[in-house]
C-alpha cells in the first residue's frame, strides 16, 4: 500500500507535463507570435487605407475641386459677399484641405472594409450581424446630422453673423477661415447625432442601463441646451434647432437601451 501511494504523484506530474507540452504546441500552431501577427494586420489596414485616400485625393483634386469649391462658397457668394485670400498659398492650401476631406469620404468604403476585416475575427457570429446593422445606423445618423446642420442651422448662423456685422464693416471673408468655419460647424452635428449609438454601446458593455439614463433625463436636457448655446449663434431659433433633435435622439437612445441586454462575459 505504501508503494502504491508513493507512485501516485508520478502519473499526476506526468499529466501536468503533457498538458504543458500540448499548450505549448497549440501556441506554436497558432503562429507563435500573435502580437506580431496583429501588428502586421494593422499595418496592412493603414497602408491600404492610406493608398485609397491618396488615389481618391488625386482624382478629386484634378476632376472635381472646382465644383466642390463652388458648392462650398455658394451660400456666401449668393448673399453678395466677396471671398478673398490673404496669403499667397492660402487658396492652394484650402483646395488641398477640401480635396483631402472629400478623398477621405470617397475612400471611406475601403477604410471601413479594412477596419472590418481587422476586427471581424474577434467577434462572435451574432456580434458580426449586430455590428453591420449598428454601423449602417451610425452612418445614416452622421449624414443626417451633417445635412440637417447645413440646411437648417448653418444658414441661420450665417445670416445671424452677417446681420450682426451689418453697418459695422464690409464683409470680405478669407477662404481658409470660411472653409474651416464650415467644417468646424457641421462635423460636430454629425458626431452629436451618434448619441443613440453611444447609449446602445455603453448599455451593451454594461457601463450604464435604462434606469440610470432615464433618471438623469433632466440633467441631460439641461446639458444639451448648454451645448446648443455654445455651438449655435445666440438666438433661440438656432438653439432650439439643435436642442430639440438632440433631446429626441436621447429619448430614442434610452428606449433602445430598455431592449438591450448587457453582453455576457465568458
Q: Are 48 and 114 in contact (CB under 8 A)?
A: yes
Note whether 95 and 135 are same-domain residues.
no
Q: What's the average pLDDT block by block, 10 residues per block, for the chain (266 residues)?
A: 48 50 49 69 88 94 92 84 87 92 87 81 74 83 85 78 75 86 81 84 80 85 83 70 84 83 62
The answer to the question of residue 60 being in a domain is yes
Domain that holds residue 40: 33-122
The answer to the question of residue 98 being in a domain is yes
Phi, psi of 137 (to 5 degrees): -65, -45
Note whether 225 and 131 are same-domain residues.
yes
* Structural domains in the chain (count): 2
Q: Are 233 and 157 in contact (CB under 8 A)?
A: yes
Say how far apart CA 53 and CA 44 lie, in whole Å.
14
110-115, Cβ contacts within 8 angstroms, sequence gap of 24 or more: 110/48, 110/49, 110/52, 111/49, 111/52, 111/53, 114/44, 114/45, 114/48, 114/49, 115/45
The grid coordinates of residue 202 equal 455603453
Last residue of a domain, which of 95, 122, 149? 122
The grid coordinates of residue 32 equal 507563435
Note whether 94 and 104 are same-domain residues.
yes
Note whether 186 and 251 are same-domain residues.
yes
Last residue of a domain, which of 104, 122, 140? 122
The answer to the question of residue 25 being in a domain is no
In the prediction, which pLDDT does 43 show?
87
Residue 212: which region, alpha, beta or left (left: phi > 0; alpha: psi -120 to 50)? alpha
Last residue of a domain, which of 87, 122, 157? 122
Amino acid at each position: 500500500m505504501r508503494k502504491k501511494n508513493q507512485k501516485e504523484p508520478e502519473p499526476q506530474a506526468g499529466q501536468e507535463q503533457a498538458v504543458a507540452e500540448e499548450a505549448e504546441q497549440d501556441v506554436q500552431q497558432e503562429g507563435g507570435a500573435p502580437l506580431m501577427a496583429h501588428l502586421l494586420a494593422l499595418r496592412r489596414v493603414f497602408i491600404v487605407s492610406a493608398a485609397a485616400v491618396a488615389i481618391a485625393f488625386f482624382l478629386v483634386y484634378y476632376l472635381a475641386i472646382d465644383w466642390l469649391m463652388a458648392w462650398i462658397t455658394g451660400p456666401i457668394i449668393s448673399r453678395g459677399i466677396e471671398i478673398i485670400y490673404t496669403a499667397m498659398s492660402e487658396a492652394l492650401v484650402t483646395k488641398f484641405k477640401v480635396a483631402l476631406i472629400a478623398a477621405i469620404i470617397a475612400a471611406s468604403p475601403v477604410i471601413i472594409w479594412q477596419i472590418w476585416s481587422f476586427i471581424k475575427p474577434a467577434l462572435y457570429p451574432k456580434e458580426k450581424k449586430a455590428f453591420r446593422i449598428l454601423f449602417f445606423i451610425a452612418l445614416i445618423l452622421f449624414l443626417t446630422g451633417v445635412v440637417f446642420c447645413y440646411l437648417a442651422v448653418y444658414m441661420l448662423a450665417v445670416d445671424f453673423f452677417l446681420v450682426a456685422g451689418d453697418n459695422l464693416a464690409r464683409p470680405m471673408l478669407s477662404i481658409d477661415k470660411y472653409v474651416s468655419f464650415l467644417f468646424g460647424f457641421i462635423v460636430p452635428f454629425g458626431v452629436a447625432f451618434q448619441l443613440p449609438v453611444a447609449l446602445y454601446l455603453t448599455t451593451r458593455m454594461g457601463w450604464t442601463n435604462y434606469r440610470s439614463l432615464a433618471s438623469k433625463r433632466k440633467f441631460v436636457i439641461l446639458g444639451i441646451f448648454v451645448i446648443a448655446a455654445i455651438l449655435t449663434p445666440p438666438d433661440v431659433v438656432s438653439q432650439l434647432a439643435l436642442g430639440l433633435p438632440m433631446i429626441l435622439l436621447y429619448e430614442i437612445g434610452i428606449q433602445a437601451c430598455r431592449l438591450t441586454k448587457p453582453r455576457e462575459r465568458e
